[in-house]
């Protein structure tokens, strides 16, 4: 089971919803590629149905609030690409603002296994094996690039801080 013993059942629905949207985004179908970016809309409705309109301040998110604020402030003068980057950050900040995922105990092995499978599926779908490998430092492009960088970066920091070094190396 992905969630072992939860302290609160309210957070497991949005957790599974985010995983489902990641799976859909990684399906390889072009028109479903950005399904994850619809997460704030879906999570907003789940939040209204499950928790009601109440938000508690999580001080651990303060750096991300500042990062999002300054990203949005600079995106005004830097065009649509900067706005896309800000929205990418907003998806995760919004998710962690309205739901407290620390209230559920997540089985890290299955989470890492699912994310590894999704990255592998994305690499296979993009043709990043063999002669199709593309990498450019100057253009900041790669066949291996994906939206999972934020997920794996946050997981790597989490696993390092919780001293789960095997999972840290995997992330």
Q: Would you list the DSSP string of 10-40?
A: GGHHHHHHHHHHHHHHTSS-GGGTTGGGGHH
The token pair that represents 83 in the structure block: 């706005």
The DSSP element (H or E) to which 141 belongs, if any, is: strand 141-142
pTM of the predicted protein model? 0.69
Cα distance between residue 86 and residue 73, in whole Å:
9
Rounded Cα distance, 62 and 130, in Å = 43
pLDDT at 40 (0 to 100): 92
**Stretch (H or E) spanning 136:** strand 135-136
pLDDT exceeds cutoff 50 at 131: no
Asked whether residue 35 carries a pLDDT value surpassing 50, the answer given is yes
Calculate the average pLDDT of the chain. Answer: 77
Given a contact cutoff of 8 angstroms between Cβ atoms, the answer to whether 2 and 106 are in contact is yes
The lowest-confidence range among 21-25, 63-67, 137-141, 150-154 is 137-141
Q: What percent of the chain has pLDDT over 90?
A: 4
- How far is the C-alpha of 29 from the C-alpha of 36, rounded, in Å? 13
Tell me if 45 sits within 8 A of 138, measured CB to CB.
Answer: no
Per the listing, tokens 């590894």 go with 116
Residue at token pair 């919803």: 17
Q: What is the CA radius of gyration of the chain?
A: 17
User: Which SS3 state, helix, strand or coil, does residue 166 take?
Assistant: helix
**Per-residue pLDDT band at 44 (split at 50, 70, 90):** very high
Cβ-based neighbour number of residue 104 at 10 Å: 20
Most confident of 56-70, 75-89, 134-148, 152-166: 56-70
Task: Taking residues 70-89, report their average pLDDT.
Answer: 82
Helix, strand or coil, per DSSP, at residue 164: coil
């Amino acid at each position: 089971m992905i969630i072992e013993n939860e302290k609160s059942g309210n957070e497991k629905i949005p957790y599974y919803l985010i995983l489902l949207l990641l799976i859909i985004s990684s399906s390889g179908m072009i028109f479903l590629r950005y399904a994850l970016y619809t997460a704030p809309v879906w999570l907003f409705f789940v939040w209204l149905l499950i928790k009601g309109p109440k938000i508690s301040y999580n001080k651990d998110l303060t750096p991300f609030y500042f990062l999002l604020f300054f990203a949005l402030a600079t995106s005004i003068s830097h065009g649509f690409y900067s706005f896309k980057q800000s929205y990418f950050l907003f998806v995760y900040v919004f998710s962690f603002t309205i739901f407290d995922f620390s209230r559920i105990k997540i089985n890290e092995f299955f989470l890492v296994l699912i994310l590894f499978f999704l990255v592998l599926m994305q690499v296979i779908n993009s043709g990043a094996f063999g002669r199709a490998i593309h990498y450019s430092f100057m253009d900041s492009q790669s066949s291996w690039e994906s939206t999972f960088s934020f997920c794996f970066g946050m997981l790597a920091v989490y696993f390092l801080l919780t001293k789960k070094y095997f999972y840290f190396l995997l992330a």
